[in-house]
Amino acid sequence: MGDEPFAVLLPDDVIPALAQMVGAHTTQGGHMIATEEVPANRISSYGVVDIARQQGAVQALRGLVEKPKAEDAPSRFGIVGRYILEPSIFDGLVSQKPGSGGEIQLTDAIASDLRTAGVNGFAFDGERFDCGSVPGYLEATIAFALDRPELCNGVSQFFAARSTGNLRAA
């Protein structure tokens, strides 16, 4: 990486965030993490941001916590699979102690760099698909198929036939 910021994309999250984040990062600097408002009953599955202030999509952060209980969460904005990180993150990862689940957590390393590098959340515009589960993967596949003119009619016909029990021969 040298001295340049770099992107990290977690493959189980399909989201249109990175291009938006790159634009914001050029003016903000520091670490930048994609965020999304999540339901309270799912908040303990996410790293969660503590937002000091928000201007547009950019959230100036005062902290991050990995997988808090819903009642302890500083906000409802969870961290989702896109990051723009400064090279200083590697120093934080080397000295990071195991956190949630007994694992080295990227969220904890980013939080330890909050005062030196700065950290912003980015509430991206667009739909997120969590492909880390079979239902999420299927939702993404169907949504993308329905968005493509050459696939939309066939997929729609399949669902219509399936819902009425009139499956056509394959």
User: Is the pLDDT assigned to residue 82 strictly greater than 90?
Assistant: yes
Note whether 11 and 80 are same-domain residues: yes
The CATH number of the domain where 49 resides is what?
A: 3.90.550.10
Residue 166 carries which DSSP code?
-
Dihedral angle computed from the Cα positions of residues 19, 21, 25 and 31, in that order, rounded to the nearest 10 degrees: -130
Residues 42 and 102 in one domain: yes
* Same domain membership, residue 124 and residue 138: no
What's the domain range around 62?
A: 6-128
Q: What is the pTM of this model?
A: 0.85
> And the tokens for 14?
């399909």
Q: Check residue 48 and give its pLDDT.
A: 95
Confidence of residue 169 (pLDDT cuts 50, 70, 90): very low
The dihedrals phi and psi of 33, each to the nearest 5 degrees, come to -130, 140
169 in a structural domain: no
Residue 100 has pLDDT above 80, yes or no: no
Residues 19 and 82 placed together within one structural domain of the fold = yes
How confident is the model over 125-140, as pLDDT tens digits?
999 999 999 999 999 9
Shared domain for 83 and 116, answered yes or no, is: yes
